[in-house]
Amino acid sequence: MMSKQYIRIVLGGVFLLSLLCFSSCKHGEGEYHNIIDKIEAESVDYHGVSVSSEDFLKDLNTVEVVEGEHTFLIPERIGEIRSFACTECHTKPLSDMSSEEQKKAHWDINLVHAASGTMNCATCHNGNDMDNLKSLTGLSVNFNLSHQLCSQCHAPQFEDWKGGAHGKSVSGWAPPRVSMTCVNCHNPHKPGFDARWPARFNLQKEKERE
């Protein structure tokens, strides 16, 4: 009894193995003998590493960041900023603006960040060079590198972000590393997040509490 079953299992195993071999050989049709060969052959040689995240990035425009020993990419911002170029309006006096629409350009911006004694629009924007941001010491900062503003006052988060601990990776684990930048998640004018209800209210827990 036992041995019959044993033979059956062995036979079944042999059958499965041959089926596996048959099907894998079938998949190997064309240029590649197996999936490993295919991965090795088709992955790009990126900085000496044979796998790459590039496929995940599709047409995302990126900018290179070099901070200390960390070099990585972040999404480009200027193309996403609705009212860029700022100098389209910020070169002429208010009286020269043609429409009410233009005059009310940023009425939707309500600064909810640090206390008003610590921060106002001019902390980050430069009236004489509106197409760039400005550091606390008056240095020009490109809109694509706005993390350089945030890092002035939020050193712990900035340190974590450089190392990949605060924020989020957009690519896979393989290089190139692409991380979201501060303003992808935080609105610079209102960087906090509102409290939210969970997406699903837990009815079961609620009933158990009753």
- Indicate whether 105 belongs to the interface with ligand HEC (CB under 6 A): yes
Residue 38 in the binding site for ligand HEC (CB under 6 A) = no
- Which of 12, 121, 139, 202 binds ligand HEC (CB under 6 A)? It is 121
Q: Taking Cα atoms as reference points, which of 77, 185, 182, 180 lies closest to residue 131?
A: 77
Between residues 38 and 154, which has the closer beta carbon with respect to ligand HEC? 154
As to burial, measured by CB atoms within 10 angstroms (0-12 exposed, 13-18 middle, 19+ buried), residue 149 is buried
Half-sphere exposure of 168 (CA within 13 A, CB side): 7
Cβ 209 to ligand HEC shortest distance, Å: 25
Residue nearest to ligand HEC (CB): 192
Q: In angstroms, give the least distance from the CB of 173 to ligand HEC.
A: 16
Own/partner contacts of 43-52, CB < 8 Å, gap of 24 or more, are 46/174, 46/175, 46/176, 47/175, 49/174, 49/175, 51/174, 52/174, 52/175, 52/176
- The H-assigned helical ranges of the chain are 2-27, 35-42, 54-57, 100-103, 121-124, 147-153, 155-163, 182-185, 203-209
* Nearest-angstrom CA–CA distance, 209 and 203: 10
Which of 109, 139, 142, 164 lies at the binding interface for ligand HEC (CB under 6 A)? 109
Which positions from 42 to 81 touch ligand HEC by CB under 6 A, shown as an x/- string? -----------------------------------x---x
Report how many residues bind ligand HEC under the rule CB under 6 A. Answer: 54
* Residue placing its CB nearer to ligand HEC in the complex, 30 or 192: 192
For ligand HEC, the binding residues (CB under 6 A) are 77, 81-84, 86, 88-90, 94, 97, 102-103, 105-106, 109, 111, 113-114, 118-119, 121, 123-125, 127, 130, 133, 143, 146-147, 149-150, 152-154, 157-158, 161, 166-168, 180-186, 188-189, 191-193
